[in-house]
Structure 1
Amino acid sequence: MAEWFLYVPQSRQGLDDLVQKARTAETAGFDGIAFLDHLETPMAPTSPIWEAMTVATWMAAHTERLKIGHLVLCDAFRHPAVLAKQTVTLAEASGGRFELGLGSGSMPDELAKFDLSTASPRERVDALGDTLRALRQYWGADDERAQIPTPSQPIPIVLGGIGPRMLGLVREHADWWNLPATYVDRLPEFLPKIGTAKATVQQMTGFVRSGDDPAATTEKAQRRFGHLGPGLVCGDAQSLGAHFRRLEDQGAQRFYVWFADFAPPETITEFGETVIRG
């Protein structure tokens, strides 16, 4: 049975709002929650956004069962030795609920603006590979660079992307591989390229709740997120359930559900009742 994660970009809302959404997701039957990692809100740099690892820590402290992660942490934001220590600390504090999602950086202008990196895409993927190999050393009890304490249990690693070199890192290092939303319709094409990693799908969802006007809900979702193409799916519980079942039949083992209405608690609750548990 596939896992369900609520994907919630932690911008334009308060920390109390995020806690409420996390707790609602936990009650509604979601298995986890994931955040993004940027220093500015993508495409809206004047909108406030909270730091990713701190938010994950706060959500872990305010939930009991949810797995906690990111799509994805930016490699350039944290030195590998510091990231290794942060990850082990949060994994242990949460009772093993933290997963490490990592990426090479999707917004080069942001990296340059804050003097983090001017590396090319190829160089950033190379750096991510270096980080992943370093993490294994820092977490390995028998390595001379091992940090104490070492993890008491394996920490799952989540990588995304579809480029050949990124998929090579997936095969070498990842427990989970995430297919970006804009490539949802190409899932079967990539599955043979991910090795033993389990496949996840990020899906923007225009959920038509009970009593909603389907045309109005769909129009608003298309206006906001139509640029995602197949990454946006709209419909009521029955049609969305069928959509996710098709993806599961194709090989998806986890869904990161991203709501076009920005996930108010009512949407999270009804989706859990009618799609996840339906």
Structure 2
Amino acid sequence: MGGLRFGVYAPQLKTDVATVIEQARRAEAAGFDSYWLMDHLLAPGAPPCDTLESWTLLTAVACSTSTLRLGHLVGCAPFRHPSLLAKMAATVDQISGGRLELGLGWGSVESELATFGFPAGSRRERADALGENLRILDLMFSGEPFDFTGKHFTLTGAYGLPRPVQRRIPVHIGGGGRQLTMPLVANHADWWNCVGSARDRLEELAPLRGSARISAQYAVGVVLREEDRGTVTARIARRMPESAWGRPFVGTPPELVEQFRAEQHRGVELCIVRFDDFGTTETLTAFGAEVVAHLRS
């Protein structure tokens, strides 16, 4: 069994570019493998607040780091035509020196699509469109001219140049739906990203993933001083409710090592964590030195 990988999920809400870049640099210095943004035009379910555009911000992070792999959990496919998305992805892969991870989903927040005027259609229609999107991405990344005729997209004499640095940009498809999401994972994904609310069904869903590797999302509270355990537990329950994030992982670094080791035995290879304090320097440093380093070996 190989070592676990760890990524930081840092939704870019109520923040600015300089703060995001600094946190990404701290995560890199602490030994994390990857850094992940959200792809929303607003904060779902929250009052209006600053919400930075994800691909532009990812480019800034790529220019400010050197080892972190970078991506979205997950990108909203309905926001962009696949030919444009392919050009954006190939360009960011060039900028980052081949460090892009391509997270995609079919757009589950229907109210957001309606607010900004994106045609939503049914859930199945959006899932079908994502399937076509993924096929077009492969064709664009090949650099060869192609025609494509589908239910949702038609391209004639299209090609994508320059090609990405990577031979294949890893595709992450997130979710836990048996009928719409898991078939897309099995047919197109390098990684299945199991959302926190579906982790309790991981063993049930994992056989449906095909050859995709498993990553999963976790709400994490690091207890650095025992007297803070109650505060950390209450804060994580308030900020990342179990209904959305699944059972939180709260504990001292040695306790967290054991919790994540159990996830490794379930087949998880990449753990994407969102911290209760949103990733302060103290938390990133302690988690990197006492959890990431321990489980990577």
Question: Among residues 36, 47, 65, which one is paired with 1:63 in the alignment?
Answer: 65
Does structure 1 residue 189 correspond to structure 2 residue 208? no
Distance 1:126 1:226 in 2: 30
Does the 8 Å CA contact 2:98/2:164 hold for their aligned counterparts? no
The yes-or-no answer on 1:15 pairing with 2:29 is: no
Paired position in structure 1 for 2:176: 162
Q: Which of 130, 151, 160 is equivalent to 1:147?
A: 160
Partner-residue secondary structure (3-state), 1:69:
strand
Q: Aligned-pair distance for 1:191?
A: 1.5
221-230 or 151-160: bigger deviation: 221-230
How far, CA to CA, are the matches of 1:266 and 1:277 in structure 2?
16
Three-state SS of the structure 1 residue aligned to 2:241 is helix
Spell out the pairing of 1:194-273 with structure 2 (5 A cutoff). 194-210=209-225, 212-228=227-243, 230-273=246-289
Q: Out of 187-196 and 32-41, give the one that drifted further.
A: 187-196
TM-superposed deviation, 1:96: 0.5
Q: Deviations over 1:163-183 (max 9, x none)?
A: 223111111110111000112
CA deviation map 1:171-226 (0-9, x unaligned): 11101110001122222222211111100010011221246521121122223223
Q: Distance in 2 between matches of 1:255 and 1:67?
A: 13
Q: Distance in 2 between matches of 1:15 and 1:233?
A: 29
* Structure 1 counterpart of 2:50, from 42, 48, 51: 48
| Normalised TM-score (structure 2) | 0.90
Amino acid across the alignment from 2:207? P
Partner-residue secondary structure (3-state), 1:218: helix
Aligned residues: 278
Task: Give the whole-Å Cα distance in 2 for the aligned partners of 1:58 and 1:45.
Answer: 26
- What's the CA shift for 1:139? 1.6
Cα gap change, 1:212 to 1:53, in 2 (>3 Å): farther
TM-score scaled by structure 1? 0.96
| Cα distance per residue 1:80-125 (max 9 Å; x no partner) | 1100000001111111001110001121001011101231111111
The residue number in structure 2 matching 1:120 is 122
Q: What is the CA RMSD across the aligned residues, in angstroms?
A: 1.4
Q: After the TM superposition, which residues 66-85 of structure 1 pair with which residues of structure 2 at under 5 Å, given as runs?
A: 66-85=68-87
Q: Is the 8 A contact 2:232 2:276 kept in 1?
A: no
Shift of the alpha carbon at 1:77? 0.8
Partner of 2:103: 101
1:89 matched residue in structure 2: 91
2: distance between equivalents of 1:247 and 1:274? 17
Moved more, 232-241 or 222-231: 222-231
Separation of aligned partners in 2, 1:168 and 1:151: 26
Shift of residue 272, structure 1, vs aligned partner: 0.7
Q: Which amino acid aligns with 1:247?
A: E
1:20·1:265 contact (CA, 8 Å) conserved in 2?
no
Structure-2 residue corresponding to 1:3: 5
Runs (5+) with no aligned partner, structure 1: none
Q: Distance in 1 between matches of 2:144 and 2:123?
A: 33
SS of the equivalent of 2:100 reads: coil
Partner of 2:155: none
Note if 1:276 corresponds to 2:292. yes
Structure 1 residues 219 and 88, CA gap change in structure 2 (3 angstroms): same
Paired amino acid for 1:248: Q
Q: Structure 1 residue 143: deviation in Å?
A: 4.0
Q: Provide the secondary structure at the position in 2 that maps to 1:205.
A: strand
Secondary structure of 2:180's counterpart equals: helix
Distance in 1 (alpha carbons) for counterparts of 2:145 and 2:267: 36
Greater CA drift, 216-225 or 190-199: 216-225
User: Which consecutive unaligned segments of at least 5 residues does structure 2 have?
Assistant: 147-157
